[in-house]
Structure 1
Amino acid sequence: MPTLRIVTWNINSVRLRLPLLTDLVRDLAPDVICLQETKCPDELFPHEGVAGLGFPYRAVRGMKGYNGVAVLSRIPLAIREGDPDWCEKGDCRHLGVTLDVPGGLDLHNFYVPAGGDVPDRAANPKFAHKLDFLAEATAWNQARGPARRAVMLGDLNIAPLEHDVWSHRQMLGVVSHTPVEVEALASWQQAGAWHDALRHFVPPSEKLYTWWSYRAKDWAAANRGRRLDHIWVSQDLAGSLSGCDVLRAARGWAQASDHVPVMAEMKL
């Protein structure tokens, strides 16, 4: 039975880190790569370089300097029409496509707002935006009902579980692990009846990180990570999951992103 390998990665500038995609392809052999924070307007996206890596099908939604999402695929795809413009900001945080596989497969690539540094809606408009974004996404999923033949992934900028952060106690007041964010993400997950592909294989009792801050002098030694990047699958695909990988070594690459690529594999 053929398999499908899907990777999500906050690349933190696709033009700056285009050479690192070669390493990603070598190490994970993905069929589909979903990027966030491409920081690139559509007309400047490096299509030629990506095509040279064996991804002839591409969908991009970007803007100058920040945000931006892209889907790179070895499989034909069609952009989903009519998905929301979250919070009416037009800020390129979501791209939905349908992959041309048997039975079809909807793929949603998200870049959730980071939320700034102060976890207070009234004092921090960025945090308010994050909570509003999550509320809209939850309502959208509730209106659509449980997901079917779908994958939802990306940099969701929340580490929901106790062992998704280096210190649950110390992180409770830090944006990305506050109770209000964790509750909001759980509501979104429940609204679509989404299944956590990484925790399908890695028990919640084990530490699991996908992001390490640039601020640490030695990120590996400090190991103060967070699991901000997620892959969720609809319940009808949960039984087809056959593997996952967090490419921790990528954090040590030259000119690395502070996020590392995350992969889920499933049988078609």
Structure 2
Amino acid sequence: MNAQPALCVVSYNTLNGGRDRDGSLHRLIDQLDMLKELAPDVVCLQEGKRWDENGGETANAVAAALEMEPRLARSASHGCHLVTLVRPPRVRFLRFYPDIAEGNFHHTVSRAVLQVEGVGTPLHVLHTHLDPFSPADRVAEARWLTQYADRDDILLVGDLNTEAPGDPEPMTWDWLPPTQYSSNRIQHPDGSYGDLDKAAMSALLTAGFVDPAADLGLAFARTAGHWREGDRDHRSDYILPTRHLSWQMQSYTVIDTPRARGAADHLPVVAHLRRTF
């Protein structure tokens, strides 16, 4: 019988690294308090803006507050760096690759090869933040990631900036300015716009990644949409295993509380996985 506790994995877009326009870090403090309560084993944080400055001072301070070990992957755009953290001694980095796409992503995609205590085979965590502006570029990034979809023990984690097949379509487009149609909607050959563009997620799922919310039969739960008045609830943030993951998805949750809604424009996504033997 496996007596090990479930492995806790979290994905969270911090919104400008938890820093407000006045430079204050009160949101980051709230974010760290939430993460401490979750006691995660692996954390993937997006938009670590300015976290690389002064030798990674902020990234190291975040890691120290969480009692975790960090690896930073620099973004090619907007300083939206990615930070992957693990909690030793249970989880350790074997190898870390900060840009496995060699500069071909709008931000980047990293790969962490992790050793989980008591588990013989490594766990591979792909961490990314897909292009927020271009459906075509998102699909290109997703197609690059599909090469991992038939491999063992892979998790794809991050802000994918796409909704999934089966997620609700908008009843109206009043929430979306026409200037943003090209970033979010299918464009027909005649130039008109249709439904939400979900092609990137469709490519990932068709290739072999699994949407845990759909697989577990969970009710729709937003990961974004609460921040601005007039926005709509939608999913953007995911922890996607492949079909060949030798871990069972025990639970999959979005932390949607008043504190979480005030801490960032995205909500933390939490997965608990238990090793199968």
State TM-score, norm by structure 1: 0.77
Cα distance in 1 for residues equivalent to 2:129 and 2:259: 19
Contact 1:154/1:229, CA 8 A, preserved across alignment: yes
Cα distance in 1 for residues equivalent to 2:18 and 2:99: 28
Name the structure 1 match of 2:71.
Answer: 59
> Structure 1's 79 and 27: CA in aligned 2 closer, same or farther, altered over 3 A?
same
Name the structure 2 match of 1:122.
Answer: none
Query: Do residues 157 (structure 1) and 151 (structure 2) align?
Result: no
Cα distance in 2 for residues equivalent to 1:180 and 1:135: 19
Name the structure 2 match of 1:234.
Answer: 242
Letter in 1 for 2:96: I
Cα distance in 2 for residues equivalent to 1:210 and 1:104: 29
User: Which is higher, the Rg of structure 1 or of structure 2?
Assistant: 2
Which sections of structure 1, spanning at least 5 residues, go unmatched?
116-125
Cα deviation for residue 134 of structure 1 reads 2.9
Query: Do residues 35 (structure 1) and 51 (structure 2) align?
Result: no
Query: Do residues 8 (structure 1) and 11 (structure 2) align?
Result: yes
Describe how 1:115-134 pairs up with structure 2 within 5 A.
115=133, 126-134=134-142
CA deviations 1:173-209 (Å, max 9, x no partner) are 6744646831332122322x11112323344xx3321
Cα distance in 1 for residues equivalent to 2:245 and 2:7: 12
> Structure 1's 145 and 227: CA in aligned 2 closer, same or farther, altered over 3 A?
closer
Structure whose residues are more often helix by fraction = 1
Contact 1:111/1:154, CA 8 A, preserved across alignment: yes
Cα distance in 1 for residues equivalent to 2:149 and 2:235: 27
SS of the aligned residue for 2:253 comes to: strand
Contact 1:250/1:260, CA 8 A, preserved across alignment: no
Instruction: Note the aligned Cα RMSD (angstroms).
Output: 3.0
Describe how 1:137-148 pairs up with structure 2 within 5 A.
137-138=145-146, 141=147, 146-148=150-152
SS of the aligned residue for 1:240 comes to: strand
Which sections of structure 2, spanning at least 5 residues, go unmatched?
20-26, 187-194
Count of residues in correspondence between the two structures:
241
% identity of equivalent residues: 20
Letter in 2 for 1:211: A
Cα distance in 2 for residues equivalent to 1:27 and 1:230: 20
Describe how 1:1-268 pairs up with structure 2 within 5 A.
1-2=3-4, 3-14=6-17, 16=19, 17-40=27-50, 42=52, 43-46=55-58, 47-55=60-68, 57-62=69-74, 65-74=78-87, 75-77=91-93, 78-80=95-97, 83-87=100-104, 92-101=107-116, 102=119, 103-115=121-133, 126-138=134-146, 141=147, 146-164=150-168, 167=170, 170=173, 175-176=183-184, 178=186, 181-191=197-207, 193-203=208-218, 206-212=219-225, 214-216=227-229, 224-237=232-245, 240-249=248-257, 252-254=260-262, 256-268=263-275
> Structure 1's 41 and 28: CA in aligned 2 closer, same or farther, altered over 3 A?
closer
> Structure 1's 135 and 251: CA in aligned 2 closer, same or farther, altered over 3 A?
farther
